[in-house]
Structure 1
Amino acid sequence: MSVHEPTLITSVQRAFRLLEAASAHENGAPAKQLARETGLPLATAYHLLRTMVHDGYLRKLADGGFVLGDKLGILHTTGQSQALLSRVRPALAALRDELGTATYLTFYEEGEICVAEIVDGPRTPRADLWVGFEDAGHATALGKSVLRELDEEARREYLSRHDLADLTPRTITTLPELTRNLDASPLAPAVTDLEEYALGTVCVAVPVYRGDVLGSLGVSLPAERLSRLPEVRARLLPTASRVTRGLSLTI
């Protein structure tokens, strides 16, 4: 192992130097120029450039020049998302500790309700997510919060792609009843899941935003703590405002 480690490290360093050089040329630069700018032998530069093109970190233009590839854009976007989440994790953790409940954050992206973060602990276990949110948006407070905030067309489009699966005897499985439940929530703007996703567990969620991206913030708790839902709602709303502010600030 030790014999090869310096070579591997050197190759990575050289690849980074080529990426940095390519990033300085918006319209692309040929291999010979990149090799000259990085001080690498041409054969080495060619080998590393081909590898990075294959893996999507660079893209080769028709004229032979190299520019940054789509993979770097994905990494940049992912890095930004993680940086934003790191801003709001303390607020999610504080909510968990104050209420003694697991805390969840979702976003509505590319037509699906996706879990972005779960903050739990030994004394605040998360709910058993036995059915993915792509099949359970109608049965969870987090999903119903998103559906409540969508405009009529977007909600109808989402529901046209998702069956109202019967997950428990309490699950709402008809569109008229779900619509009434969303539009007439007694805790609005909060919505609830009263053992609709899992028997023995109730949830409450409120909307949040990451810029223009809709999401939801919610908590889950044992059904015997149902009477605490108004108290939970009162704590969720200011935390949701803080989370929205944290997620919407420019990095």
Structure 2
Amino acid sequence: MQRALRLLECVSGHTYGAPAKQLARETGLALPTTYHLLRTLVHEGYLRRDKGLFFLGEATERLSSSGARQKRRTAFLEALAHWRDALGAPVYYAVYREGEIDVLCVSDTPGNPAVEEWAAFRETGHAHAIGQCLLSQLGEEDRRDHLARHPVRPVTPYTVRDGHSLLRRLERSRRTDVVTERQEYAVGTVCAAIPVTVGSTAAAIAISLPAHQADRLVPAAQRLQTEGARLVGSLALSISI
């Protein structure tokens, strides 16, 4: 295994390919061993041979691409964790795709736990800041289509009462506005969501706080919007999460 990796590393240093004898010389491997390993690596798709020269194959390129994507994903999760700790609040990342609200990542701690999903987030977008933020980024036709499939209904005593009222609220908000809701999804919890740019996809990053800390909500959201949303959006776009 180690010798095969040495060969792969050696081949990767030759953009225009290299013959077996040169690879054997540069890796210090015996020529028969080199030929055997090269045949195996070609058979498995890690290398390809063309006119006596060896190049990296599709399998190696897929491994490289997968590793780079995982590295970007780790950076994305670390960014969420950074803002979780900096703001002292759980941080959520969600997108709107294929007609549904999809919360993809949640970064929280035992001291600052995320909101319990006691009513399905996908079906209650009208009641939480994440859903309202995502819906505010859609066109009117898409909003109405979503609400036709997931009608407005009371979730708590503070939930918007009907679809008409929600649509009016969404029409008044700009795509770049911070969206806040206070106990509309969960009694005792307040939330804020910030729209982020992820290509053509509607996306949002959000935080939640206990209701008795409601005075912290807007300042924390504004800080996240100013300092963190662009970074999170660029990382999310780079991994197509």
TM-score interval, normalised by the smaller of the two chains: 0.5 to 0.7
The 5 Å alignment of 1:11-50 reads 20=44
1:87, CA displacement in angstroms?
Answer: 2.5
The residue aligned with 2:233 is: 244
Deviation string 1:58-98 (CA, Å, 9 cap, x unpaired) is xxxxxxxxxxxxxxxxxxx9999765542221221111111
1-structure distance, mates of 2:205, 2:71: 18
Q: CA deviation at 1:208?
A: 1.6
1:129 partnered with 2:124: no
Query: Does 2:140 correspond to 1:152?
Result: yes
Give the RMSD, CA atoms, in angstroms. Answer: 3.3
Residue 178 (structure 1) aligns with: 166
Query: Which SS does the other structure have where 2:202 is aligned?
Result: strand
* Change in CA separation of 1:98 and 1:187 when aligned onto 2, cut-off 3 Å: farther
| Greater C-alpha Rg | 2
1:38-67: CA deviation from partner (whole Å, max 9, x where unpaired)? xxxxxxxxxxxxxxxxxxxxxxxxxxxxxx
- C-alpha change, 1:141 and 1:188, in structure 2 (3 Å) is same
1:19-54 deviations in whole A, cap 9, x for unaligned?
A: 955xx8xxxxxxxxxxxxxxxxxxxxxxxxxxxxxx
How far did residue 198 of structure 1 move? 0.5
**1:99 paired residue number:** 87
- Count residues with an aligned counterpart: 188
1:166 and 1:128, CA in 2 relative to 1: closer, same or farther beyond 3 A?
Answer: same
Q: Is the partner of 2:126 in helix, strand or coil?
A: helix
Residue correspondence of structure 1 range 66-215 to structure 2 within 5 A:
84-185=72-173, 189-215=177-203
Contact 1:135 1:165 in 2 (8 A): no
Q: Cα–Cα, structure 1 residues 20 and 225, in superposed 2: closer, same or farther, change >3 Å?
A: same
Q: Distance in 1 between matches of 2:76 and 2:95?
A: 14
TM-score by length of 1: 0.65
Which residue number in structure 2 is paired with residue 43 of structure 1? none
Cα separation, 1, equivalents of 2:94 and 2:206: 9
The one-letter code matched in structure 2 to 1:229 is L
Change (3 A) 1:206 1:19: farther
Which string of whole-angstrom CA distances, capped at 9 and with x for unpartnered residues, describes residues 92-112 of structure 1? 111111111111000111111
1:229 correspondence with 2:224: no
The amino acid that maps onto 1:131 is A
TM-score, normalised by the number of residues in structure 2 = 0.67
Unaligned runs of 5+ in 1: 1-16, 25-76
Secondary structure at 2:151's aligned position in 1? Answer: coil
Is the CA contact 1:205–1:236 (under 8 Å) kept in the aligned structure 2?
no
Aligned partners of 1:247, 1:100: CA distance in 2, in Å?
22
Q: For the structure 1 residues 89 and 152, does the alpha-carbon distance in structure 2 shift closer, same or farther, using more than 3 Å as the test?
A: same
Structure 2, unaligned runs of 5 or more: 1-40, 49-64
Name the CA shift for 1:194/1:80 in 2 (closer, same or farther; >3 Å).
farther
Q: Is the Cα contact below 8 Å between 2:181 and 2:190 reproduced in 1?
A: yes
Summarize deviations over 1:202-235 as a string: whole Å, max 9, x none.
0000112332222110001011111222202211
What is the rounded CA distance, in whole Å, between the counterparts of 1:193 and 1:204 in structure 2? 6
CA distance in 1, matches of 2:66, 2:93: 16
